[in-house]
Amino acid sequence: MGIYLNPGNSGFQEIRNSRYVDKSGLISLINRTIGTKQKLTCVSRPRRFGKSFAAQMLCAYYDKGCDSSELFCDLAIAVDKKLNGSYQQHLNKYDVIYLDMTNIMGKAAPQDILSFIENGVTEELLDAYPELKEGRAFDETLLLAAELTGNKFIMLIDEWDAPIREMPEIQKMYLQFLRTLFKGSGTTDRIFAAAYMTGILPIRKDGSQSAISDFREFTMVYPGAFAEYVGFTEKEAQELCEEYKSDFLTMKQWYDGYILEEIGSIYNPNSVMRALYEHRFRSYWTETSASKSLMEYIGLDFDGLSRTVAQLLGGIEISVDTNGFSNDLVTFRDRDDVLTLLIHLGYLSYNEETRTVRIPNEEIRMEFARAIRGVKRDESIRRVRESDQLFYDTIHKNEEAVAAQIEKIHAEETAILFYNNEQALRSVIKLAYFSYRDHYLKFEELPAGDGYADLVYLPKKNSMMPALVIELKWNQSANGAIAQIREKQYPEALKGFGGEVLLVGIGYDKDTGAGKRKHTCKIEKILV
């Protein structure tokens, strides 16, 4: 058993000794690629989304230096007839080269990392196969080893992009090293049966093309067949909640929100398991190094980024073009590049069908709210202060101040053609009250009485704040908006709340003549 060559199955053994959610179906996806032109796979995921677990599972499965049959015999890959067609064919049949780039980076100076890798793997190959003659170059040594043994390699690179993210000075040299190994030539085909790389970022682009062009990429923008293995599915999260006697609806509110095509909801696996083990729902994202960078990215000086963050915090979905992103942490052309990076980091959920992003859940919303208060930009500070002040004025029934702020947001944020559009009106309210997460949970189209309450802000547990039911109507007075709230019995949605509820009606005239579009506000208090 080596460090880099055939490191064994002890990592996956520890995973199996813990509460393991079966993701062995991923093995069948890699098995299908072995010996084909699709054998090079790169999967990118945010931190704490199980990337290393998957790499260690693949290592345990393919490594011919160990017997892993007992680790897999009860998993789907072994028992599910749809998955296990190639199970025995490839189980523990390959020399595996396993590179944990984060670990390796701590062992050598940046300029020495590649020679450190080459020397380490070569030394272990020569120990394993004394008759092997060392080649003139690293790829030649691998080729000689494959021909000597008659057995191609499985290459696993965990956190492949760590040097790209943390050591930009060796980026070109590192990418050239990977090109040499995986350049798609006949030599590469003779060396590798398959390769699997996992990281946070997609493969770095050279111009508009991938720098390592022969890899099939599966990302948070396009997860493809690997979507089921991004995190926990809804079914898996429900089963875990039943097993640990935890409230599923609360789990969903906190850690759901990554909606992937054909799979549906995907949950952050690290946060789910931490919440189950610790019996506490909170943000575990803060404990990752990714959280430290959010403030830096949303503080970038691009026109419209402050407004976009405020919209996202208010629950508004934002259109984004992901195609121009260079797949690194330093090359940003515009707002879309920043949003695309936040998708890959797990801060935003991407809807492939509508090409929009949104904040996925309460855990991430908390991180955004923390970060935006620390961003030292006048525009961001202004928006936070205005939203906080709006809550203060609403709760203290300062009707003129509330009307003036809603009127200001309505004028600033709504295009003339959509000024009276129902969805635009709801977006105005969400943007105006975007700092709600400090004290409230937001509900849209909440079933209530004879209809649906457009927006309801319900105080969090142990909060002393009143609940808010807000209605913005055009061509009606504020009194008319209140009348609709009462007529439709929207407060019925809060029946059993057992506290103070403020009915907030905001009306304005739709005409554009002088003195028109003046907003008015009426706030009434009831108890439910």
Same domain, 310 and 181: no
Same domain, 149 and 14: yes
Decide if 385 is inside a domain: no
Q: In this structure, is residue 409 part of a structural domain?
A: yes
Query: Are residues 360 and 446 both part of a single domain?
Result: no
For residues 194 and 246, state if they share a domain. no
Give dist(CA 9, CA 260) in Å, integer: 31
Residue 227 lies in a domain: no
Specify whether the CB–CB gap between 252 and 237 falls below 8 A. yes
Distance in angstroms (rounded) separating the CA atoms of residues 340 and 31 = 31
We report the CATH number of the domain holding residue 126 as: 3.40.50
Report the alpha-carbon distance of residue 236 to residue 213 in Å, rounded: 35
pLDDT at 291: 46
Both 359 and 482 in a single domain?
no
Judge if 212 and 251 occupy the same domain.
no
Same domain, 22 and 131: yes
Q: Which of 177, 193, 218 is the last residue of a domain?
A: 218
Indicate the number of domains in the chain. Answer: 3
Inter-residue contact 420 to 474 (CB < 8 Å): yes
**pLDDT score for 510:** 66
CB burial of 35-52 (b: ≥16 within 10 Å; e: otherwise) equals eeeebbbbbbbbbbbbbb
Of 310, 342, 374, the last residue of a domain is 374
Contact at 8 Å (CB) between 284 and 270?
yes
Pairing of the two strands 40-44 and 192-199 = parallel
Which among 120, 149, 174 is positioned nearest to 5, based on CA atoms? 120
Residue 141 lies in a domain: yes
Mean pLDDT by 10 residues, the chain (528 residues): 92 94 95 93 91 95 96 92 85 96 92 94 94 87 93 95 87 90 82 95 67 85 92 95 94 90 89 95 71 71 79 88 83 88 93 92 87 73 84 92 89 61 75 82 77 81 85 83 84 77 86 64 88
- Answer yes or no: is 276 within a domain: yes
DSSP element (H, E) containing 76: helix 76-79
Q: Which domain holds residue 476?
A: 394-527
Q: Does residue 523 share a domain with residue 429?
A: yes
Q: How many CA atoms lie within 13 A of 96 on its CB side?
A: 31
343 and 402 assigned to the same domain: no
Following DSSP, what letter does each residue of 176-200 receive, concatenated? HHHHHHSS-SHHHHHHEEEEEEEES
Same domain, 181 and 256: no
Q: What is the pLDDT of residue 185?
A: 67
| Two tokens, residue 518 | 């003046």
Strands 205-206 and 192-199: unpaired
Is there a domain that residue 402 lies in? Answer: yes
Residue with tokens 């979507």: 227
**Residue after which a domain boundary falls, among 218, 251, 268:** 218
Q: What are 431's two structure tokens? A: 């943007």
Residue 480 lies in a domain: yes
**pLDDT reported for residue 476:** 80
Both 146 and 265 in a single domain?
A: no
- Give domain status of residue 502, yes or no: yes
Question: Which residue shows structure tokens 């190994």?
Answer: 181
Say yes or no: 343 and 451 in one domain: no
* Sequence-ordered list of residues with C-beta below 8 angstroms from that of 249, at least 6 positions apart, any chain: none
